[in-house]
A and B are shown apart, each in its own frame.
Chain A
Amino acid sequence: MVTLLPETTRKLGVPRTLHFPRPLGTPIGRPGDRQAQARDLELCLQAAARLGREEMAEYKGGELSYPV
């Protein structure tokens, strides 16, 4: 699951999330930018395959940061 509200997501105990630090309303990529959408969706798939229970990956500086 993608989250744009990480604190809410943590409090709800969502199993597996990826936080994109961006305003509400544009969870995947940018309008008209299929490459950016593909990049973000690919990150979602990678996170889904790698994350464990209640873990959240953070998107920082163009890369995913996973919990230690």
Chain B
Amino acid sequence: MQPPTHSRAPLSSSEVAWSKRAVARVALWMQRNTPGIYQWHAARENHRWHSEVPFSPLLKPLEQCRVALVNSGGLILDDQQPFNLAAEEGDCSYRVIPGDADPARLVVSHMFYDSSNVEVDSGVMLPLAVLNDFAADGKIASVGPRHFSFSGGIPNPTKLIEHYAPELAEAMVSDEVDLAILTPA
């Protein structure tokens, strides 16, 4: 089994200051030991980003749907640029994971959650193999050609809201995706 993520340098496109790594360790400690307080803190911090979110009802039975996956667990392919974990306001960009990606090539570029289980088995964050099984069994019509990863822990998601999320939505429309399942870090 891989050692816990916090015991080695996070995979980042820029070197992360020790102070930010210390904050990440505190966050992981709170998630593990004081989850109620962590939840309260997260809710308080994120409340200011509340806005009217459009609701799109599912218009087809699941058996006719093409499904894609989106995660904020920082999963990237080993030859993709890591997220910039040093960015003060967070890295709002995403990475594209092809539907036929080899799970053995997926690595984690994130430091604000315990990614131990994801590093052992990426399927707990990006269940592509299971999704492909569902398509083979007829539970869904097909799997989207592209899936998407963000790296959470973004203090200021303005660029995500105004640019990257709309861009990603357009990509999924282009891929004729009917339904996206979002999995958080």
Contacts and interface: CB of A to CB of B under 8 A. Distances in A.
Interface of A: 1-8, 10-16, 23-32, 34, 37-38, 40-42, 44-45, 48-49, 52-54
Given A28-B123, A45-B62, A1 B117 contact: no
B55 A16 contact: yes
Report, as a range, how many residues of chain B touch the other chain.
35 or more
Given A13-B51, A34-B129, A37-B130, A25 B183 contact: no
Interface of B: 31-32, 35, 39-40, 42-43, 46-47, 49-56, 58, 61-62, 67, 71, 73, 113-118, 120-121, 123-125, 127, 129-131, 133-134, 139-140, 179, 181-185
Contacts of A45: 62, 67, 134, 139-140, 179, 181
Contacts of A23: 31-32, 35, 114
Nearest to A39: B130
B130 A38 contact: yes
Contact of A41 (B43, B50, B73, B130): B130
Contact of A1 (B43, B54, B182): B182
Contacts of A7: 39-40, 42-43
Contact of B184 (A3, A31, A32): A3
A2 B120 contact: no
A25 B51 contact: no
A1 to B, nearest CB: 4
Contacts of B127: 28-29, 37-38, 40-41
A32 B121 contact: yes
Contacts of B183: 2, 27-28
Nearest to A55: B55
B172 to A, nearest CB: 14
